[in-house]
Amino acid sequence: MTDLVRLALEEDIGPGDITTQACVPESQKACGRFLARESLVVAGLDLLREIYDARGGVEELTLGRRDGDRCHEGEILATVFGSARTQLECERVALNFLQHLSGIATTARRFADAVADTSCRVLDTRKTTPGLRTLEKQAAAAGGVTNHRMGLYDAVLIKNNHIAAAGGVRAAIQRARITGLPVEIEVRTRSELAEAIESGAAHLLLDNLTPREAAEWIREIAGRAKVELSGRITLDTVQAYANTGADFVSSGAITHSAPAADISFRLELV
C-alpha cells in the first residue's frame, strides 16, 4: 500500500503543512491517541506505520487493537509518540483511512451478524472505490463477510451483458469452460435457469428477486448448483434472503454505502 499512502499524503500535504510549520516548533514532541467515539469494528490500523514512515517516522507506535476487533466508545485504538509536526501532518490521512475502512468493517459485521443463525454466507462485491479495492475488501473480511472475486481476472461470473454478447446462456457457459474455473452465471428467467443447469453451471446468480421468489427458484434448483442472491439486499432484508436456502447473498452496500466510523485523534504535548 506504500504508493497509495504516498499519494494520499502528497494530496493533503503538498509542498508542506504551512499551519503546522508556522505554529509548532520542529523539536516539539507529543503523544497522540486514536479514539473510538462510537461502537465499531476497527480496520486499517496496519496502515498507520506506513503513513508515519512516509513522513520520516515516529519514535513509538502502539496498536491497542487489531483489525476485526469490536471496540466500544472511548477505547484507545492506537497510541503514537514522537514529532508533533509529523503527527499533525499525518492526522487527516490517518483518520480518513481508519474512519472509512472501519466503517466498512462495522457494516460488514452487521451483515454477518444478521445471518449468523443461517447456513448462508455474505459476500462483498466489486462495487468499491477506485484504487481502494484491496483495502476495502480487507476491511469487509475483517468485519466477517467473505470476499467475492477481487476483479475480472480471478473468477468467472457471466452477467446478462456477457450472455447477450456471447449469443445465449449455453454458448457463454461453453466458452467460459476454457478457463478451467468453476462457472457462475446470472440467470433472469426460468428458461435461462433451466438452460444454465443443463449446461453444467456450478454456481447461479439470481438478481433482484423477492425473498419469496428466490425461495421458489431455489426449490426448483434443488441443490444442483450453488446459489447466490443479489439486488435489494440491505441490512433490513438480508436475513429474509438468507432464510430462502441460498448459499450466498451479496451486497454492494457493504463497500459503497458504509458510513464512516466516528474516530478521533487527540494530541498532548510531552
SS3 41: strand
Buried b or exposed e, range 43-59, using 16+ CB within 10 angstroms: bbbebbbbbbebbeebe
DSSP H or E segment with residue 107? helix 84-114
Catalytic sites, residue numbers: 92, 127, 159, 186, 207
Task: Give yes or no for a contact between 145 and 122, defined as CB atoms under 8 angstroms apart.
Answer: yes
Task: Give yes or no for a contact between 36 and 262, defined as CB atoms under 8 angstroms apart.
Answer: yes
Q: How many Å apart are CA 205 and CA 105, to the nearest integer?
A: 25
Give the position of cell 503546522: 20
Strands 156-158 and 183-187: parallel
At residue 62, φ and ψ (nearest 5 deg) are -120, 120
Name which of 206, 212, 220 is nearest 250 in CA terms.
206
Q: How many Å apart are CA 141 and CA 213, to the nearest integer?
A: 29
Contacts of 250 (CB under 8 A, 6+ apart): 122, 123, 124, 125, 148, 228, 229, 230, 233
Q: How many Å apart are CA 266 and CA 270, to the nearest integer?
A: 13
Supply angle C-alpha 83, 61, 85, rounded to 5: 15
